[in-house]
């Protein structure tokens, strides 16, 4: 019987050799694709990898914590990072049921998941992120380095600062390998031999943050055009976290509100008056329903002066403005009670 089965098997192979060959090749290609797919997160470019600004693309189990995260980002003076931290939370938490929703236990010097109070987790997590952010800004590394350091620890900031100041997957691998060697860590998963942390952490976090919709012709397009808008915002992002500086109008002095708009708009070839009042006077007034990213948003009564207009910001859509105010340079919520109480309206300038 065994001999007969062997003969039948041989006949089957001979008669169907083409189909079998195609099947084997297809299986090989499929396996190769799966293996390559394991590391696509480090190969796929993320357009907004160095920008903390956007809308968190997260499921309901993460979005439910927005109010709590917003409370503590406001408490620690980094309200503009709320959506980014929700994107980070999704990477940290996934679909886990733990109440350490920002995985803050280890940052607090405790064993993993020791914290089982969401309020405590967010408090520690936001506070820890702010300390990482401040060190990164002090050492003048890019934002991607700051993100990766939430996973690696702040030693990565020092490492990148001494190696050009910009994060890359290659630098993350080198750092991981060095740290794993120091601690004699080994692993057999996809990270091997880079067994310290996750060297693809930046890409995994930033894919959860949708960039602001600035495409010309899109739902939320900028009337000044995509190229001009990007030039302005790319320049503005260089100064996120800088303190407000009265009468400042350039990077050497720092920026007040109108100095910030004057400097950034100049990068798109748009010349503006020096004061918020002057910028109000040269802009075309538009109703709130027609405001688009790149328009101005004007305020009154934010400090004592004879001028009617006392503050100006760059409207970004989605209830946000990019400006320099008492809490520093960054994205701020125009729907907060303070800003609502001082709002005058919106304006637009032509290039």
Distances (CA, A) of 207 to 40, 43, 120, 250: 12, 13, 26, 33
Averaged confidence pLDDT in the chain: 84
Q: Are residues 63 and 196 in the same domain?
A: yes
Q: Are residues 203 and 83 in the same domain?
A: yes
Give the three-class secondary structure for 128.
Answer: helix
Q: Please tell me the least confidently modeled range out of 116-125, 140-149, 198-207, 318-327.
A: 318-327
Domain extent for 273: 226-348
Domain total of the chain: 2
Tens of pLDDT, residue by residue over 165-192, are 999 999 999 999 999 999 999 999 999 9
Cα-Cα-Cα-Cα torsion 68, 70, 74, 78, nearest 10 degrees, comes to: 130
Q: Are residues 254 and 194 in the same domain?
A: no
| CATH code, 179 | 1.10.530.10
Residue 3: pLDDT band with limits 50, 70, 90: very low
Residue 205 lies in a domain: yes
Q: Are residues 74 and 184 in the same domain?
A: yes
Q: Please tell me the least confidently modeled range out of 220-224, 267-271, 272-276, 305-309.
A: 220-224
Sign of the torsion angle spanned by Cα atoms 137, 106, 190, 195: positive
Q: Please tell me the least confidently modeled range out of 12-21, 27-36, 326-335.
A: 27-36
Q: Which of 58-62, 227-231, 302-306 has the highest mean pLDDT?
A: 302-306
- Give the residue among 137, 140, 347, 142 at the shortest CA–CA distance from 258: 347
Residue 102 lies in a domain: yes
- Residue-level pLDDT at 251: 94
Q: Are 46 and 203 in contact (CB under 8 A)?
A: yes
Residue 18 lies in a domain: no
Residue 266 lies in a domain: yes
Residue 50 lies in a domain: no
Q: Are residues 199 and 337 in the same domain?
A: no
> Which of 210, 236, 252 is the C-terminal boundary of a domain?
210
Q: Which of 59-63, 137-141, 216-220, 305-309 has the highest mean pLDDT?
A: 305-309
| CATH code, 268 | 3.90.1720.10
- Residue-level pLDDT at 350: 67
Residue 27 lies in a domain: no
Q: Are residues 235 and 195 in the same domain?
A: no
> Which of 183, 210, 237 is the C-terminal boundary of a domain?
210
Residue 143 lies in a domain: yes
Q: Residue 122 and residue 20: Cα distance in Å, rounded?
A: 56
Q: Are residues 136 and 188 in the same domain?
A: yes
Q: Is the pLDDT of residue 351 over 80?
A: no
- Residue-level pLDDT at 187: 94
Q: Are residues 341 and 269 in the same domain?
A: yes
Tens of pLDDT, residue by residue over 207-252, are 888 766 543 334 456 788 878 888 898 888 788 778 899 999 999 9
- Residue-level pLDDT at 301: 97
Q: Is the pLDDT of residue 74 over 50?
A: yes
Q: Are residues 245 and 202 in the same domain?
A: no
Sheet holding 311-317, edge to edge: 284-286, 343-348, 296-299, 311-317, 320-325, 328-333
Name the percent of the chain lying above pLDDT 90.
Answer: 58
Q: Are residues 102 and 196 in the same domain?
A: yes
Q: Are residues 161 and 250 in the same domain?
A: no
Give the three-class secondary structure for 216.
Answer: coil
Range list of β-strands (E), 228-278:
249-250, 254-255
Instruction: Please tell me whether the overall predicted TM-score, pTM, comes out greater than 0.75 for this model.
Output: no
Residue 48: pLDDT band with limits 50, 70, 90: low
Q: Is the pLDDT of residue 86 over 60?
A: yes
- Residue-level pLDDT at 49: 65
- Residue-level pLDDT at 298: 98
**How many Cα atoms are found within 13 Å in the side-chain-facing hemisphere of 219?**
4
> Which of 181, 210, 239 is the C-terminal boundary of a domain?
210
**What tokens does 206 get?**
């930033």
Give the three-class secondary structure for 240.
Answer: coil
Q: Are residues 71 and 190 in the same domain?
A: yes
């Amino acid at each position: 019987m065994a001999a007969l089965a062997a003969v039948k098997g041989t006949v089957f192979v001979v008669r169907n050799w083409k189909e079998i060959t195609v099947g084997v090749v297809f299986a090989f290609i499929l396996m190769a694709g799966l293996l390559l797919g394991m590391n696509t997160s480090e190969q796929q470019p993320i357009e907004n990898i160095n920008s903390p600004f956007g809308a968190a693309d997260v499921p309901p189990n993460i979005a439910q914590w927005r109010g709590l995260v917003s409370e503590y980002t406001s408490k620690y003076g980094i309200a503009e990072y709320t959506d980014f931290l929700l994107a980070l939370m999704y990477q940290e938490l996934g679909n886990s049921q733990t109440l350490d929703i920002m995985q803050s236990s280890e940052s607090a010097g405790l064993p993993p998941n020791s914290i089982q109070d969401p309020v405590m987790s967010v408090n520690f997590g936001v506070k820890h992120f702010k300390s990482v952010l401040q060190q990164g800004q002090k050492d003048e590394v890019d934002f991607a380095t700051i993100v990766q350091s939430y996973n690696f620890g702040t030693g990565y900031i020092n490492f990148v600062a001494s190696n050009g100041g910009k994060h890359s997957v290659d630098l993350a691998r080198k750092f991981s390998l060095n740290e794993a060697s120091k601690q004699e860590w080994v692993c057999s998963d996809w990270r091997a031999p880079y067994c310290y942390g996750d060297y693809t952490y930046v890409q995994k976090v930033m894919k959860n943050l949708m960039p602001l919709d600035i495409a010309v012709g899109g739902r939320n397009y900028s009337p000044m055009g995509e190229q001009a808008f990007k030039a302005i915002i790319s320049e503005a992002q260089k100064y996120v976290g800088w303190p407000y500086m009265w009468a400042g109008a350039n990077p050497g002095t720092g920026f007040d509100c109108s100095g910030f708009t004057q400097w950034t708009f100049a990068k798109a070839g748009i010349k503006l008056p020096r004061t918020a009042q002057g910028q109000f006077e040269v802009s075309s007034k538009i109703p709130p329903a027609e405001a688009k990213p790149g328009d101005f948003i004007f305020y009154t009564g934010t400090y004592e002066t004879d001028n009617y207009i006392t503050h100006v910001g760059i409207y970004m859509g989605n209830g946000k403005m990019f400006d320099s105010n008492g809490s520093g340079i960054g994205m701020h919520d125009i729907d907060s009670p303070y800003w609502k109480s001082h709002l005058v309206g919106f304006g637009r300038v032509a290039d």
